[in-house]
């Protein structure tokens, strides 16, 4: 199947398809699951519900009876062998995404982001080699940029354990495509934000934490002068990228950045969040030594490759996405802070 926007509506390909989502009760996984159910797919989500990792049953509120939930850990090879059978697609989103946690507990990060990915691919190779597999990579694999915007040919030199293990996980998917013919692809995510994001602590991305602080009327602390540039992608746009990659064999063996719209400084971003929330404040503070060691400075990505191949680009204006996110947590804050 080749992508051709003039003759194929990629969303129609999901009606009646059996779809498995690892990390399906987490932030991106649950938003993807809800969208796939609405498109007529038969969805099974896998999640370990480890408290600090973002899985939350409230993320599928209203969809509980429209999909299958399997509480399992991707580190269990026997469970994965059983679960991949009969699936048309696997969206492989399970992972440990905290950069700081990867430095304090590197072996858990290794197990989840590297070894488990190999186990999942082996399960597919032996039990369901026809399944299409889309992996969630990260721009953290690049490390400190040598040029901007980052493109897929940029050297990968991670600055933390998480980046190293995510890089390994991605390349296992590439190798299983080239060596065994599995239909794999990888999307390297940048700073994704939106409803259903973990905000219980600040170790899984700064955007959700900034939004929580603003909604609670608290102070957002920025390190240094807040001038670091970042690009952000709204979760609905990220879900669309996964759907496009899953709908066409054009993506097989491919690696694609999911860049955001124009980059914004952290100071401008925090100030915008406070403005939208109508409460909270922004303060500049000195860099903590542990954070400074792994900071990568300005970073933002090019999405030219995926736009050319799959027709994807971010379409949600930052102010609109932030407004939707603030409104969601204003209504459901207790569900994400307990």
Q: pLDDT tens for residues 122-174?
A: 999 999 999 999 999 999 899 999 999 999 999 999 988 999 999 999 999 99
**Do the domain assignments include residue 126?**
yes
Nearest to 19 by CA among 76, 73, 106, 83: 83
Nearest to 239 by CA among 16, 6, 43, 101: 43
**Do the domain assignments include residue 4?**
no
Q: Provide the pLDDT for residue 213.
A: 97
Dig out the tokens for 296 from the structure.
């990568």
Residue 239, C-beta contacts closer than 8 angstroms, at least 6 positions apart: 28, 31, 32, 35
Helix, strand, coil percent values for the chain (each to nearest 5): 45, 20, 35
**Do the domain assignments include residue 125?**
yes
Residue 104, C-beta contacts closer than 8 angstroms, at least 6 positions apart: none
Q: Domain holding 21: CATH number? A: 3.40.50.720
Q: Provide the pLDDT for residue 332.
A: 97
**Do the domain assignments include residue 255?**
yes
**Do the domain assignments include residue 301?**
yes
**Do the domain assignments include residue 5?**
no
Dig out the tokens for 175 from the structure.
């190798």
For residue 46, what are the domain limits? 10-337
- Kindly tell me the sign of the dihedral angle through the C-alpha atoms of 30, 299, 141, 126: positive
165 alpha-carbon distance from chain centroid: 15
Q: pLDDT tens for residues 195-234?
A: 999 998 887 679 999 999 999 999 999 998 999 999 999 9
Q: Provide the pLDDT for residue 287.
A: 85
Count of domains observed in the chain: 1
**Do the domain assignments include residue 148?**
yes
**Do the domain assignments include residue 205?**
yes
Q: pLDDT tens for residues 59-94?
A: 999 999 999 999 998 989 999 999 999 999 999 998
Q: Give me the chain's average pLDDT, please.
A: 93
């Amino acid at each position: 199947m080749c992508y051709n926007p003039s003759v194929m509506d990629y969303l129609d390909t999901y009606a009646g398809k059996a779809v498995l989502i690892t990390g399906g009760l987490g932030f991106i996984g649950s938003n993807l699951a809800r969208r796939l159910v609405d498109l007529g797919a038969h969805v099974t989500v896998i999640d370990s519900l480890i408290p600090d990792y973002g899985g939350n049953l409230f993320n599928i509120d209203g969809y509980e009876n429209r999909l299958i939930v399997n509480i399992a850990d991707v580190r269990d090879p026997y469970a994965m062998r059983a679960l991949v059978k009969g699936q048309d697609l696997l969206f492989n989103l399970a992972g440990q995404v905290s950069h700081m946690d990867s430095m304090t507990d590197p072996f858990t990060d290794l197990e989840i982001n590297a070894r488990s990915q190999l186990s999942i691919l082996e399960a597919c190779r032996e039990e369901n080699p026809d399944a299409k597999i889309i992996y969630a990579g990260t721009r953290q694999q690049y490390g400190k940029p040598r040029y901007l915007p980052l493109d897929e040919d940029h050297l990968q030199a991670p600055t933390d354990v998480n980046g190293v293990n995510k890089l390994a996980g991605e390349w296992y998917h590439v190798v299983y495509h080239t060596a065994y013919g599995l239909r794999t692809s990888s999307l390297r995510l940048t700073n994704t934000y939106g409803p259903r994001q973990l905000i219980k602590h600040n170790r899984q991305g700064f955007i959700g934490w900034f939004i929580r602080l603003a909604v609670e009327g608290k102070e957002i602390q920025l390190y240094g002068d807040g001038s670091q540039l970042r690009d952000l992608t709204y979760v609905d746009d990220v879900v669309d990228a996964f759907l496009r990659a899953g709908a066409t064999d054009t993506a097989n063996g491919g690696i694609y950045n999911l860049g955001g719209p124009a980059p914004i400084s952290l100071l401008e971003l925090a100030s915008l969040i406070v403005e939208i929330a109508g409460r909270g404040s922004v303060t500049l503070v000195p860099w903590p030594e542990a954070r400074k060691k792994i900071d990568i400075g300005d970073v933002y990505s090019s999405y030219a490759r995926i736009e050319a191949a799959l027709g994807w680009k971010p379409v949600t204006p930052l102010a609109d996405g932030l407004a939707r996110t603030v409104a969601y947590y204003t209504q459901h804050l207790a569900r994400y802070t307990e």
